[in-house]
Structure 1
Amino acid sequence: MTTHLKVLANNIFLLIVSSAVFLFSTQSCSASQKATSTSPAVGSIQQESVLNNIAKKDLKSTDASTAADQPNQIADSVNVDSLLAEMSLKEKIGQLFFVRAYGNYKSDDNESYQKLLRQIQNYHIGGLVFFNGTVYGQAILTNKLQRAATIPLWISQDMEYGAAMRVEGTTRFVPAMGVAATQKPEYAYWMGKVTGQEAKALGVNQVFAPVLDVNNNPLNPVINVRSFSGDPDIVSEFGNKFIEGVESENVLSTAKHFPGHGDTDMDSHLSLPVIKYDFARLDSVELVPFRSAINNGLNSVMSAHISFPAISPDSSLPATMDPSILDGILADSLNFDGLVVSDGLEMRGISSHYSPGRAVIQALKAGVDLMLLSPDELTALHEIEQAVHTGKISEERIDNSVRKLLKWKKQQGLFENKEVDIESLSANISTRKNRLIADEISRKSLTLLKNNNDILPIRASEYPKVMVVSVSDGKSGYTGSSFVSQLRDYHPDVSSHLLDQRTSKEEKKKMIQDARKADLIIIGSFIYVKSGQKVQLKNEQLSFLKELTQNKPSVLTAFGNPYVVQDLPYTDVQLLAWSANGGQVKSTVPALFGGSEISGRLPISIPGLYSINHGLYLPQTAVRYDEPEVSGLSSDSLHNIDQIMNEAIFDSTFPGGVVTVVKDGNIAYQEGFGYETYEKLNPIKENAVYDLASLTKVTATTAAVMKLVEEDKIGLDDKIGKYIPEFSEDEKQNITVENFLLHNSGLPPFRVYVDSLKSEEEIIEAIKNEPLTYETGTDYRYSDLGFILLGEIIEEVSGKSLDQYVREKFYYPLGMSSTFFNPKQIGYRMTNRIPPTEIDTVYRDTTIHAEAHDERAYFLNGVAGHAGLFSSGKDLAIFCQMLLNEGWYAGQRYLEPSTIQKFTKRQATHSNRGYGFDRKSGKNSTAGSLTSEKTFGHLGFTGTSYWIDPERDLAIIILTNRTYPYRSYGENISDIRAKVADAVVSSIIE
């Protein structure tokens, strides 16, 4: 495979081809964040961005439907001024208030539900702020409460990293800082668009996002990764894109927290932060993103509960109540005339200093329109009504804010349709498209700060024993479990420990003991940013981790708090993953092993360590499991493979099998079908291990010859007589290694031998003395005998048996942990994954299970050049990808590109074969009719095969036991192979 990285397309298109194929493109970001261009890395896997496959026609249709939803298209059925004139003072005051609601199931007599009904019917509240809930729970509650409201409710919700910030079952994105780490503002747009789409489906009218605070204070306990960056220009660019995305779905976006909450070291939920900067500083940093958003058409702002004594004449006033901030700066200086929303009025920065009514009155005077989460709405309503009657605040001021809200309710069509369409939820929330977009952003956000001694990508051959320590400030006992579980999918020996509040002295002692035995220690930091909590590690944790990693290579993976690297500066690898959600863990683990490109850059500076825009680049050089669409395949189209395989099982072609498809470095499809036998007792799982039969020829023997040729220990033109004296004279003297590889040596296609010869020595001696059946080089006759002798030559030249040599040179360092000769020697953990291959009634009079099916290989002690190797779909995917990578895998070179090219291209005169490898040929090829002419691979007698199409960066692997119960079964296996190959290629989205 050509190793050049593809240039990401500049345009983003939305694709829904038949049954949903989508994905995504990107652009470079602002000059302040552009990375120096990097040459394509050797052996890197070539991948398109997920969204590159989005079609223009669907974008146009999407834009058209979106335009139809815009406010100016809504019927003018309500006159806002007339409605306002008909409302009582109490009703108007009530419209200013937004109360907390939880979107979970509630019975009709549930007290919290009844309270909401009272607030709606008696207080006439303007809307709700939904907190945690579920998709259907929130949707159903919304409808019930909307039906109870005379004036439609305005539904609002925090959705900074997608609807999943509050609603279980929706699409979750990485935090804003992770999005900015991608350097691709378009990702912020698509994050906003998906968020807006799901919010709209849920009946949410206003999203409290994005955070436009500039996080330039590492000690900030409340903003942190919620901010896009410590650079105001980056915050501006990504914030504007997010807002555009949300509002393209006709949902109101709200920028927060004005005039800036980034440079604080205390939490306004608990107290009143103070920023002592003057206006000049505020104007050059904090206000930059807000000014940019306002100039870009921002419609709503949320105020911050922070005081600015160098700007305000009253140093005790938070910005929410400060006319010099909201009226003087926001309205006058920045010309903002949109909707102003308070931060939660129950927060201690407000509620500990002001009564409920006074807080609202002061906020109204300062310029706030909507009052969120008053600690006591009833008291506040009464105090405001009294204030109007006593002249402390005018009814006109209240009218101004209510009018704004009513206009938005009208613009979003709430007077025509205020209920959620329950039937449409499943078509709009957490769809495959939305998840794929979120997954891509997650992968691209990974930021590598340090990689001493090139530890990444991690290779089991260099670090046989890995110890994982998950660090948490909690005490659940489950932190990091998903991280550890997925690490074990990529490394065969991973031990794990949890360091949290529950960890005892005995457990710490055990950790120290295990650390001494480990070759590499991975620290998973799950220290989250929480209100009222120090954001870094605790001192006792720090001292223990330092002791634990002493004189050991270490990897720090920070989930959720980038500043934790300041506490562990001595770690050899530092990878930022931005969030601890399941999707981010899923993206992070493959990257540690080379399964994902790492290309993110710091959107912040980490004092004393890294400057903004720092980040190391690592290409993808190993396989990972991922969705088909990531590689440009249609999931729905690939299901045709299911039908082909199941029909073959029903027709008794084989009792079961596994199909694995590798595309663009991803295991995009892997399914197990049927059972181990026709008794249908043990279902086939994806990790099943099969007897490869003649796939041994290419996966072991040919690979070994390729390596030895590169090491100048074997030459293709070497005479066989150089290694085997019996080939030194007469008609055999001109036979070369090349002849054996091309199957044109003159040796017969097949000899059983084992009907009379039962020892390795006798069989090898018989093959050495086997007469030729045709003149060398004049014909092609596929022969096992030459490959059996090649196995002997490999042993002589390398000084190691064939199985030892390929294990050391390929399988072990590649991480092919399920690839062995003689799997019974490995034990039950291997044999229980292997289906039987035949009921032998001729030579062994038993069911052949976990031992070489081929009789000659069996009597050659299970290790032979032509057969005897066992492997799984995943392991063969690794091997095939190594060949597609031109010999490079997970940061290590196994073969030279020229060697692979030479062995896999046509080299024979009388056939289309390469050296060892078969190639697609003829109209009835088992590689199907749609793979390219450069396709190469091999077949195995037991019903195994793999075909590799380098033009498409594609490998198709089929493993079956079609010889069960007898080798006469499964005669139409060739048709199945071809049909599966065509089904795969047909699934590629052109």
Structure 2
Amino acid sequence: MKKISIRNSFFYVLFLFIAVGCVGTKTNKNKVIVTNIPSKIENLDSIALSNMPTLFELSPQGNKWVDSVYSAMTLEEKFGQLFMVAAYSNKDSTHIKAIDTLITDHKIGGLIFFQGGPVRQAKLTNRFQSKSKTPLFIGSDAEWGLGMRLDSTYSYPWNMTLGAIQDMKLLEKVGVQIGQQSKRLGLQFNFAPILDINSNPKNPIIGFRSFGEDKFKVTAHAIALMKGVQSQGIFSTGKHFPGHGDTDTDSHKKLPTINSSKEQLQNLAFYPYKKMFHEGLSSVMVAHLNVPSIEPRPNFPSSISYNVVTDILQKELGFKGLIFTDALNMKSVSEFKLPSEINFEAFIAGNDVLLFPENVPAAIEKFKFAYSLNLFTEERLAFSVKKILKFKYKANLNNFKPIATENLYTDLNSVENEALHYELYENAITVLKNTAAVLPIKNLDKQKIAYVKMGDDNNDVFVSTLKKYTEVTVISDVNLDSLQVKLHPFTTVIIGYHKSDVAFSNHDLRLDELAKIKFLAQNNTVILDVFAKPYALLPIINFEDIEGLVVSYQNSAVAQVVSAELIFGAIEAKGKLPVSINTSFNVNDGLPTEKLNRLGFTTPENVGMNSTILSKIDSIATKAIDAKMTPGIQVLVARKGKVIYQKSFGHHTYDRTIKVQDSDIYDVASLTKIIATLPNVMQQYDQQKINLETTLGSMSPIFKDSNKANINFKDLLSHYAGLAAGIPFYKATMNKSQSPSDVYFRKIAEEQFSKKLGDSLFIRNDFSDTIMKMIVESKLSLKKEYKYSDLTFMILKDYLEKTTGKPLDVLIQENFYRSLGMNNSSFNPLTKFDKNRIPPTETDTYFRRQLLQGYVNDLSAALEGGVSGHAGVFSNAMDVAKIMELYLQKGNYGNRQYFSEKTFDDFNTCYFCAAGNRRGVGFDKPQLGAVGPTCGCASMTSFGHTGYTGTMAWADPETQIVYVFLSNRTFPIASENRLSKENIREDIQRVIYEAIIN
């Protein structure tokens, strides 16, 4: 490198004193102050051109471009390349014009964008690039995605959340997606990943931004993220060298001190950098830190220390990439010297790019003046400027094309973001305590669960997801004793601690919250779920009384869903703690939990489905509602054990006063056959109390001497027994004026008239016997052929009740609903649920003469007091999906085997398909011809049922799909079934199959 020949002479030192004032003091704005100039000149001269970066070697054509651009630059243009100025897309025209001026008049080299929006930023990028003679670097702090800075863009979990993940392929996927989005927005640099090892839990500025406190894990996670980002042609910037993890000071406010020895730094803070350099890290950001062990000058920022930036980072550690300062407007450095002096000091120290500088014009003047004094050489300037140009060429900025703003929002917010988000939390959420295997919660039929909220952020998604698994009661009271009285009946108390996901928000537990946790844990079986940084646990001294401890890290909607899944076993715990919690928990602590065979939740893409195609369901459902085929609809789709689509449409009625919610319960009509009667029959079959050849006469003695005595079980349930489709039982209860007879009905409940079928309408308790007598005496078809009949399941209800000694509504709750968590399913729902949760099914003008809301629509079932084998169950889509999933898993749900796989296979067999009867044993099956219950695209192994009120439940073992459709298409009158005529249910099913990718 060119030497300054008079450097060591007395005249040179005297010249410096005359030109710039006394060394180490400040002068007015027209002078240059440089601290310890002789030593800086000496050290700077030792940087040879041979140290130019080798990481991004260019082709001869690339080097030619760099040399030609450099040689064509004026001195001022070369200086301008060193500056990367802050830009915003949410500021006014004054800001935009100021940036214009910096580009056109001062030839700055780049922009770091902060707050704003993606389309606005893209337009500004195009504007600014068009004004720049040399293409600009565009960078951003996208540590957890573009959403860190921009609205309408995506945010991934924080680094500390990612630090709990053990699968580095997932971290690389995060990097790939951040890289893709950065590239789409016209960036070249992502100022990430954070390489700081957060060894100080009180660190106010790194904390959750760090991958953790273990250097090996931090390094592995950072490498994976970097590889993903850089695979998309975006440069990663490791920060904050020499290490910002061991401090309790925010460098935005004042200069932090790192008291580590040089040996400690080498062993810990430098470790990720050494590994990252080997793996191809493009650039490094140098922090503003006071590190006495490597910079002896007191309170001298590392970002302007030649010893740190040049001697250690470049020479000792061998880094050849681009070097950025941290933002030069930060008080930790901006208050150290005048802005123009800081910029020059940072350059002299060995930095290439001066980030977020203040007063660029004044700084350039200082550079020009210092250059005129030979305080640095042309070679030193070329060293950084050519390096910058090389990176610009590598980023293809020599062929810059304007950013296309069309579809920009869609491209930046693709469905893959949410799909990955689910995967990340499924792998991050960490279980730290699991006393007596309290997690996952099992034996739902024996549990009574309460939820208590703590923290000041939203918990709606968590609570609603918990309630999708079983009944969970939200309990609150400011008085601890009163709260405990309310909690006394409950077997398990889930405490959710919810804190804001806004960056740098306070997650610390208050004293009253700590007391509350302690009190509840001492008096209850408690699962504490922390939707906050793991450091929130630091004030808890004793965890002994807490049975279950879950760290969910953040309070995003996805985190809340996935955490609820873990609590109920839809997923297993995989996360490992990235930091230690005092002496209670160590880095890498994390317990595995059992995965139960329960429905979970995710995005369509995670189970091989296309969400864009699946979204067509919305328009079909809306079409049906707009055309008044039904006032409201629930639709649920699950695949591979995961609910991927669950939406409610319309209102309870056409007056549009109550919107349909996922928790609303519908009269499911004939779905009762397969979700209430059939599972109980299958258990009887599984216990070998009946078989396919068992006759009706031997099953039920009342049929022994009837014309139905020899009907076998297989024929009966295949609708191949010749039974009548139905019997108008109600006619036997009407008087001569065609009104309900006083012989059978009362307006007020009495001892013998306690079965309710409407408001102020009670039927004789023994009328069920009359119904069975009428069935026994009914005629049979002379020809053996397929004929669908409700009588089959009315017979089976009678059989079950007499065999077990329990009513069907009790039997289904005990044997299935309670343990399945079907807490929204019931006969006669008005005895359990708020009426406003039940959409009405019909205005009955012919018998009950009233609005039917909460009373079964089917009149035959109503005459049995609302409990029949063929109709009567009210449920929602989620509950129906559970029992359909049980069937899909051949009798298993929640790791509980309700009946054998063989039993399911026997019932799901079409024994008479050759004869044109598509039915299985109790299940409906796909059509054999052109007309039938499905879209015609479901496999022949699929099964399900449809219902008169506009319902459908279908499962397909080959595609592992569960589809549930519920509506009240019979409201206000059931005369014309347009929902069926226009194939709404079938068209939705067709969309589901079209959405299958693999």
Closer/same/farther in 2, CA of residues 978 and 480 from structure 1, 3 Å limit = closer
Shift of 1:367: 1.8
Out of 498, 501, 522, which is 2:495 matched to?
A: 522
* Alignment-derived partner of residue 372 in structure 1: 355
Whichever residue aligns with residue 251 of structure 2, its letter is S
Matched, 1:561 2:533: yes
CA distance in 2, matches of 1:443, 1:362: 47
Quote the residue 1:22 is aligned against: none
Q: Does 1:140 align with 2:123?
A: yes
Q: In the alignment, which of 550, 575, 588 is matched to residue 575 of structure 1?
A: 550
Deviates more, 1:232-241 or 1:869-878: 232-241
C-alpha displacement at 1:317, in angstroms? 4.0
Partner of 2:515: 543
Show the counterpart of 1:862. 866
Matches within 5 A, 1:820-839: 820-826=826-832, 829-830=834-835, 833-837=838-842, 839=844
CA distance in 1, matches of 2:199, 2:968: 61
Give the structure 1 partner of residue 474 of structure 2.
Answer: 495
Cross-structure match for 1:466: 450
Structure 2 residue 746 is matched with structure 1 residue 761: no
Q: Which residue of 2 aligns with 1:95?
A: 81
Contact 1:305 1:318 (C-alpha < 8 Å) held by counterparts = yes
Are 1:299 and 2:282 counterparts? yes
The DSSP-based 3-state class of the residue aligned with 1:167 is coil
Residues 172 and 438 of structure 1 are in contact (CA less than 8 Å); yes or no, is this contact kept in structure 2?
no
Match of 1:984 in 2: 992
- SS at 2:217 equivalent: helix
Task: Identify which of structures 1 and 2 has the higher relative contact order when contacts are C-alpha pairs closer than 8 Å and 6+ apart.
Answer: 1
Determine helix, strand or coil for the equivalent of 1:520: strand
Q: Offset at 1:831?
A: 5.1
Q: Which moved more, 1:930-939 or 1:227-236?
A: 227-236
Partner SS state of residue 133, structure 1: coil
1:770-817: CA deviation from partner (whole Å, max 9, x where unpaired) = 247559998765443342233234334444321123234333443334
Q: Residues of 2 paired with 1:453 and 1:852: CA distance?
A: 43
Distance 1:315 1:798, change over 3 A: farther
Q: Please say if residues 591 and 620 of structure 1, whose CA atoms lie closer than 8 Å, have aligned partners that are also in contact.
A: no
Q: Normalising to structure 1: TM-score of the pair? A: 0.80
Q: Deviations over 1:876-928 (max 9, x none)?
A: 11221232234444465555545434433456797564443333462344234
| Distance in 2 of aligned mates of 1:379 and 1:514 | 69
Q: What corresponds to 1:661 in structure 2?
A: 637
Equivalent-residue separation in structure 2 for 1:679 and 1:74 (angstroms): 74
Structure 1 SS opposite 2:455: strand
Query: Per-residue deviation at 1:195?
Result: 1.5
Corresponding residue pairs, total: 903
CA distance in 2, matches of 1:148, 1:746: 85
State how far apart, in whole Å, the 1-side matches of 2:844 and 2:534 are.
59
Could you tell me which of 946, 965, 973 is aligned with 1:958?
A: 965
Alignment of 1:256-655 (within 5 A): 256-314=239-297, 316-374=299-357, 377=360, 380-381=363-364, 383-394=366-377, 396-414=379-397, 416-417=399-400, 419-423=402-406, 425-458=408-441, 461=445, 464-471=448-455, 478-480=457-459, 483-484=462-463, 487=466, 492-495=471-474, 519-526=492-499, 536-568=508-540, 569-570=543-544, 571-606=546-581, 607-612=583-588, 614-619=590-595, 621-638=597-614, 641=617
Question: Which residue number in structure 2 is paired with residue 816 of structure 1?
Answer: 822
For the residue of structure 2 that corresponds to 1:155, the secondary structure is strand
Question: In the TM superposition, what are the counterparts of 1:209-228 in structure 2 within 5 Å?
Answer: 209-228=192-211
User: What SS is found at the alignment partner of 1:437?
Assistant: helix
1:708-764, CA deviations, whole angstroms, 9 ceiling, x for partnerless residues? 566788888877667855345576666676765455666544322221145452442
What is the distance in 2 between the residues matched to 1:543 and 1:873? Answer: 40
Between 855-864 and 976-985, the greater mean CA deviation after superposition: 976-985
> Secondary structure at 2:996's aligned position in 1?
coil
Cα distance change of structure 1 residues 480 and 763 upon mapping to structure 2, 3 Å threshold: closer
* Cα-to-partner distance string for 1:531-551 (whole Å, 9 max, x where unaligned): 6x9875344542343224332
What is the distance in 1 between the residues matched to 2:655 and 2:206? 60
- Contact residue 926 and residue 974 of structure 1 kept, 8 A: no
5 Å-filtered alignment, 1:744-783, equals 748-757=724-733, 758=744, 759-768=764-773, 770-771=776-777, 773=779, 781-783=787-789
Distance 1:251 1:845, change over 3 A: same
- For residues 186 and 755 of structure 1, do their structure 2 counterparts lie closer, same or farther at Cα, with a shift above 3 Å needed? same
Question: In terms of mean alpha carbon deviation, does 943-952 or 438-447 score higher?
Answer: 438-447
Pick closer, same or farther for the CA change 1:805–1:610 going to 2, 3 Å: farther
**Equivalent in the alignment of 1:930:** 937
Quote the Cα distance in structure 1 between the aligned partners of 2:59 and 2:851: 74
Give the secondary-structure state (helix, strand or coil) at the position aligned to 1:269.
coil
Matches within 5 A, 1:783-798: 783-798=789-804
Q: Map 1:657-696 onto structure 2 (within 5 A).
A: 657-671=633-647, 689-696=665-672
Q: Can you give the 5+ residue segments of structure 1 that lack an aligned partner in the other structure?
A: 1-69, 473-477, 499-505
Moved more, 372-381 or 237-246: 372-381
8 Å Cα contact 2:323-2:351 kept in structure 1: yes
Q: Map 1:861-900; keep pairs closer than 5 Å.
A: 861-890=865-894, 894-900=898-904
Q: For residue 810 of structure 2, give the secondary structure of its aligned residue in structure 1.
A: helix
Which of the pair has more CA radius of gyration?
Answer: 2
How much has 1:863 moved relative to structure 2?
0.8
In the alignment, the residues of structure 1 paired with residue 60 and residue 955 of structure 2 have an alpha-carbon distance, to the nearest angstrom, of 55
Between stretches 119-128 and 648-657, larger displacement belongs to 648-657
Residue aligning to 1:502: none
1:265 deviates by 4.5
Structure 1 residues 853, 253: closer, same or farther in 2, change over 3 A? same
Cα-to-partner distance string for 1:32-68 (whole Å, 9 max, x where unaligned): xxxxxxxxxxxxxxxxxxxxxxxxxxxxxxxxxxxxx
CA change 1:72–1:678 in 2 (3 A) is farther
Task: Call closer, same or farther: CA 1:129–1:684 in 2, change over 3 Å.
Answer: same
What CA deviation, in whole Å up to 9, does each residue of 1:372-403 have, x standing for no partner? 23456566555544444444444542342233
One-letter amino acid of the structure 2 residue matched with residue 205 of structure 1: Q
Which digits, 9 at most, give the CA deviation of each residue in 1:316-342, with x for residues without a partner? 544323333332332223322111011
Question: Quick one: distance in 1 between partners of 2:660 and 2:503?
Answer: 45
Q: Please identify, of 435-444 and 200-209, the stretch whose mean Cα deviation from structure 2 is larger.
A: 435-444
Tell me if the contact between 2:247 and 2:256 (Cα under 8 Å) persists in the aligned partners.
Answer: yes
**What runs of 5+ residues in structure 2 fail to find an aligned partner?**
1-55, 734-743, 745-763
Does the Cα contact within 8 Å between 1:196 and 1:247 map onto a contact in 2?
yes
CA deviation digits over 1:395-450, x for unaligned, max 9? Answer: 54234223322333344344553754323523531122333333433333322333
Within 2, Cα distance between the matches of 1:168 and 1:620? Answer: 38
Task: Read off the aligned partner of 2:451 and give its amino acid letter.
Answer: M
Alignment partners' CA distance in 2, 1:149 and 1:332:
34
What is the CA deviation profile of residues 589-635 of structure 1, one whole-angstrom value per residue up to 9, with x for unaligned ones?
44434444543334455543244263414436333454332322223
Quick check: 285-294 or 580-589, which moved more? 580-589
Query: How far did 1:470 drift?
Result: 3.1
Residue 456 of structure 1: how far off its partner (Å): 3.6
CA distance in 2, matches of 1:546, 1:776: 74
Q: Measure, in 1, the Cα distance between the counterparts of 2:594 and 2:390.
A: 51
CA separation of 1:354/1:656 partners in 2, compared to 1, >3 Å: closer, same or farther? closer
**Retained in 2: the 8 A contact 1:676–1:836?**
no
Matched, 1:700 2:672: no
